[in-house]
Structure 1
Amino acid sequence: MSKGKVVFISAFHDYRTAKRASIHQIAGALARGGYDVSFLSTRFSRLSWSKGDSRLFLWDRANRIETVDGIQCYLWRTPLHPFATGNKIADRMMAPLFQLYARLPDLHVDAMLAEADHVVVEASVAAILLRRIHHLNPCARIIYYATDRLETVGAHPFVQQQLERDAKLVHHVSMRSWLMAPDFHWADRLTRIGFGIDPEDFEAVGSTPYPAGQRTAVSVGSMLFDEGFFRHAAAAFPDVMFHVIGCGRRFDAPSNVIIHDEMPFRDTLPYIAHATIGVAPYLQAPGVEYLAETSLKLAQFEYLGRPAVCPDFATGDVRSRYGYRPDDAGSIEEAVSGALAAAGSVSPVIFPKWAEIGERLLYPEHYPDTAPA
């Protein structure tokens, strides 16, 4: 018997893509734990081709339900979708299109939302659907999953404005860092759930993909990716091979930088587990300090006992992270040197399993430590 129906809504991710963010991990864990889980992926249209969207391989599978790992997946493809232009005048002209998009008809979307017990709305354009969710299903528990700050990821101002207008419809906000709390002055329903790691994912990662004796550094992911870091670091450390996985683009760099296409989560694990050090090359962005507590790649490096190099705004109070100032060649060299020297001496960190994080997301009232201190 199902524990309940949970719908996840994302404007960036589809459950079937190779990349694995926390929303994928939680959805998978809840499905394995007995919940009836659906994953609705939005903001996908012909415009997605110009952006190199990671979901393009699903183009012909859009607008129909497909079950993967026991999860009902639905990629909502529309003729066009609204977006942030980065220009104040153009953004003002774009705002009414967000309102129109939120009302576009789709029978599968509406049926999915109408039947849910919980609707988890990832921090993104998906927030404009709150009113639609409530209209279709007034009894559903709507959870805003604050994986990122809207300003940091460059969301259109309308999204934040609509989120504030519809704040009363949100049962609770689930954050990964209390540093994000000031964004929710409108809510007294703030919770923090943290990260999960499933040890079984790392029990059979396989042999090293690196040559014997080779010092290596690995970066996985595309969020706020700073290619300039690798130009500085690779030139300063020609004996270190820098592996960049799934950054979403090609760029000019020294020959000791190897760029890999996006790959399935499990395929990345040998690269991470056998690397000498990890790298989280984030660009500076508004309010980006929360990444010190929300970066999944940094958490994975901690779990595996790997020293990590990252911008100084993302080091937090983690001693195994070596911070640098973006675009400062001297500080980048110092950070990489410090991490390399620490290799082999970092103790692994234990995290809760994703199944527990999923329960904390749905029912934070059962976990007193999710509440503000």
Structure 2
Amino acid sequence: MKRVVLVTGHYLASKRKAGFHWLADAYWRAGWEVIFFTSAISWLSWLQRNYRMAYPILHEAKTLRWVQPRLGSYVWFTPWHPFKVPFPGGNQLLRPLFVRYGDLPLGEIDSLLPEVDLFIFESQPSLMLFERFRQRCPQARYVYRVSDDLRLLRSSHPVVLEAEARYAPRFDLISVPSMTLLQRFTHLPQAVLQHHGIRKDLFDRTYTNPYTGPWEAHLIFVGVSHFDHDFLEKASLLMPRWAFHIIGPIASLPQRENVIAYGEMPFEETVPFVKYADVGLATRSGSPLTASLTDSLKIIQYTYCRLPIVLPEHLASARPHTFPYRPGDTASIQAALLAAQRFDRSHIVTDDIYSWDELATKIAGD
């Protein structure tokens, strides 16, 4: 039986499902033994009130917990982890401490490392473990699944950027989900564009339509960050007979009848809302960090459900079913909404969308 270790900042049982959760699920369903290695979590996370601390992190710290046969969760909770210090000179002051992050005790998982077939690393401080894992298990396949541009993350200490630059050329595969992120690695021959996958089986099921009421159209946003509040303020006024459904921990939404907030919910429960919507919203605020979201997991899911997509100009792409607006411009917002609502959804092409199973196979090199 093959064993894969996914080295990530996510927590296995989190409500927030990221690509690493779905890769873990794909390998598990394919018969692999899967270990979900949660890192970049420490007492600093507790001080920062990081959302992951709402889960039993301290209770599970450095204990390999088998949540199902062949599916394990390991929380590498450490005294500290590298982060960008927000005051002058702070990064240099803490450098001697942070540079040792990759040498901290691993705990009981250390004994399992020599028998791993595949390591998949995310874009975060655990890249500093690469050399250590390589020494323990030189025969494994090592993949860097790029999730973010580390240069743009507010939390990236210079030692993490240096680790990425040092180790990226040594990965067997650099798997990149968007063209924007791929530009950073074009000098490396093993860097390949591999868009996010989706659980096609979930989206192909028949569900009860969750939408009710007298609304002429239902628009859906699903996400956790970088929400363009001004767009919703203007759009919900412009289109009073359209319902704007917002799923995620988004605060300070307009208090209007046609703005319906659901808060955060398990991914599986969001699927019917996407499947039965009329328009998908990828309305992200203008931050350098959002540039890589042109090929986000949510855009892939909207596309698979053949939804026209409204998004800001900085996320514009060649997809013919995307309709960009100029942030803050009322006329532009209205034009994008109307064009999306009128678009013939039968023209949306879905043949090039991976399932997570297909992507997992490509990443494994099978």
- Global fold match (TM > 0.5): yes
* Structure 2 runs not aligned, ≥5 long: none
- Structure 1 residues 151 and 88: alpha-carbon distance in aligned structure 2, compared to 1, 3 A threshold: farther
Q: Could you tell me which residue of structure 1 aligns to residue 166 of structure 2?
A: 165
Name the aligned partner's letter for residue 273 of structure 1: K
- Structure 1 residues 180 and 344: alpha-carbon distance in aligned structure 2, compared to 1, 3 A threshold: closer
Q: Could you tell me which residue of structure 2 aligns to residue 303 of structure 1?
A: 304
| Cα shift at 1:346 | 5.0
Report how many residues are paired.
359
Stretch deviating more after TM superposition (86-95 or 120-129) = 86-95
| Cα shift at 1:259 | 2.6
Matches within 5 A, 1:1-373: 2=1, 4-11=2-9, 13-49=10-46, 50-54=48-52, 56-59=54-57, 60-69=59-68, 70-86=70-86, 89-154=89-154, 155-184=156-185, 187-204=188-205, 206-214=207-215, 215-246=217-248, 248-255=249-256, 256-286=258-288, 288-292=290-294, 294-342=295-343, 346-347=347-348, 349-350=350-351, 351-363=353-365
Other structure's SS at 1:222 match: coil
Alpha-carbon distance in 2 for matches of 1:89, 1:115: 42
- Structure 1 residues 131 and 348: alpha-carbon distance in aligned structure 2, compared to 1, 3 A threshold: same
Other structure's SS at 1:132 match: helix
Name the aligned partner's letter for residue 270 of structure 1: P
| Cα shift at 1:38 | 0.9
- Structure 1 residues 197 and 188: alpha-carbon distance in aligned structure 2, compared to 1, 3 A threshold: same
| Cα shift at 1:111 | 3.0
Verify the 8 A CA contact 2:227 2:250 in the aligned structure 1. no
- Structure 1 residues 220 and 96: alpha-carbon distance in aligned structure 2, compared to 1, 3 A threshold: farther
| Cα shift at 1:221 | 1.6
CA-to-aligned-CA distance 1:218-238 (integer Å, 9 cap, x gap): 111224333333222223222
* Structure 1 runs not aligned, ≥5 long: 367-373
CA-to-aligned-CA distance 1:39-67 (integer Å, 9 cap, x gap): 10112233334344145223333332222
Alpha-carbon distance in 2 for matches of 1:346, 1:182: 29
Other structure's SS at 1:188 match: coil
Name the aligned partner's letter for residue 118 of structure 1: L
- Structure 1 residues 89 and 343: alpha-carbon distance in aligned structure 2, compared to 1, 3 A threshold: farther
Alpha-carbon distance in 2 for matches of 1:234, 1:96: 51
- Structure 1 residues 225 and 93: alpha-carbon distance in aligned structure 2, compared to 1, 3 A threshold: farther
> How high is the TM-score relative to the length of structure 1?
0.87
Name the aligned partner's letter for residue 30 of structure 1: Y
- Structure 1 residues 86 and 282: alpha-carbon distance in aligned structure 2, compared to 1, 3 A threshold: farther
Alpha-carbon distance in 2 for matches of 1:112, 1:325: 52
CA-to-aligned-CA distance 1:90-121 (integer Å, 9 cap, x gap): 33334334323222112234234333121100
Other structure's SS at 2:198 match: coil
Alpha-carbon distance in 1 for matches of 2:179, 2:345: 31
Name the aligned partner's letter for residue 18 of structure 2: A
| Cα shift at 1:68 | 3.3
Verify the 8 A CA contact 2:82 2:125 in the aligned structure 1. no
Other structure's SS at 1:332 match: helix
Stretch deviating more after TM superposition (132-141 or 142-151) = 132-141
CA-to-aligned-CA distance 1:117-152 (integer Å, 9 cap, x gap): 211001222222212212322222221111222234
Percent identity of equivalent pairs: 28
Alpha-carbon distance in 1 for matches of 2:221, 2:325: 15
Other structure's SS at 2:324 match: strand
Alpha-carbon distance in 2 for matches of 1:166, 1:124: 13
Alpha-carbon distance in 2 for matches of 1:96, 1:259: 45
Alpha-carbon distance in 2 for matches of 1:163, 1:325: 34
Verify the 8 A CA contact 2:178 2:296 in the aligned structure 1. no
Alpha-carbon distance in 2 for matches of 1:346, 1:87: 52
- Structure 1 residues 153 and 9: alpha-carbon distance in aligned structure 2, compared to 1, 3 A threshold: same
